[in-house]
Amino acid sequence: MGETIQVRDGRELIIRSAIPGDGQRVYDFMYALGDSTDRLLTHPGDMRTVEQYESSITQIAQGGFYSLCAIDPETDAIVGNAAFYPGSRVKIAHAAGMVLGVLPQWQGCGLGVWLLNRSIEDMRKNPKILRLDLLVMDGNDHAKKMYERVGFKVEGHREKAVRQPSGELCGEYMMGMWIGNGNTTNE
């Protein structure tokens, strides 16, 4: 199941959508990711439960969630993920919020960009989704540049929106991209 890809350094990964039963794998991935960086909301002191991850995964079939996983065939562990959450209200159902992460030992080999491009491609095939958005914390310049390169534009900056466990306050950039027809300005 899934597709095998080779990353720049020659290692192989399996790419597939999250499936029921992946809850624990996603939890382990998010735990390791949150432990490796403070540039995302999840951290070991504030985890969603395995059941919550499992419940998100069950919404994939109805189009309520999207989750693309990169899996290390040797360990069967998730090492990278791109997820989209479509708006849950009628008026914002055309917009999907994105979350992307790659574990440190798999960074620098093109995996992040690959997941980003493939997941955006999938969103473009979804006729209901016309807008993508995401948040990037201050200091995560590498991610911000990557998002800009694929077409996201900075739409604003939320001042002191995040408080790190250390007490440090940090802002986050709001980024958006229109993937429907027409340009991004109102007629």
Partner 1 sequence: MNEAITLRDGRIVQVRHSRQGDAERVHAYICALGRSTDMILTCDGDFPSIERVQSHIDLIADGRFYSLVAIEPDTDRVVGNASFRFAERKKLAHVADLGMGVLESHQRTGLGTLLLNQAIEDMRGHADIQRLELTVLCSNTHAHMVYKRAGFVEEGVKRRSLRQPDGRYEDEIIMGMWIGDEVR
Binding site for partner 1 (CB under 8 A): 41-43, 45-46, 89-95, 130-131, 133, 155-165, 168-169, 174, 176, 178, 184-186
Minimum separation from the CB atom of position 182 to partner 1 (A): 9
List the structure tokens of 147.
């998002």
* Torsion 141-143-145-148 (CA) sign: negative
Nearer to partner 1, 8 or 128 (CB): 128
Rounded to whole angstroms, the Cα distance separating 137 from 168 reads 12
Nearer to partner 1, 41 or 61 (CB): 41
Rounded to whole angstroms, the Cα distance separating 23 from 15 reads 16
Nearer to partner 1, 95 or 103 (CB): 95
Minimum separation from the CB atom of position 42 to partner 1 (A): 8
3-state helix, strand, coil in the chain (%, to 5): 30, 35, 35
Q: Are 78 and 28 in contact (CB under 8 A)?
A: yes
Rounded to whole angstroms, the Cα distance separating 106 from 86 reads 27
Nearer to partner 1, 87 or 110 (CB): 87
Closest CA to 171 of 133, 135, 147: 135
Minimum separation from the CB atom of position 7 to partner 1 (A): 30
Minimum separation from the CB atom of position 166 to partner 1 (A): 11
Nearer to partner 1, 46 or 76 (CB): 46
Minimum separation from the CB atom of position 156 to partner 1 (A): 1
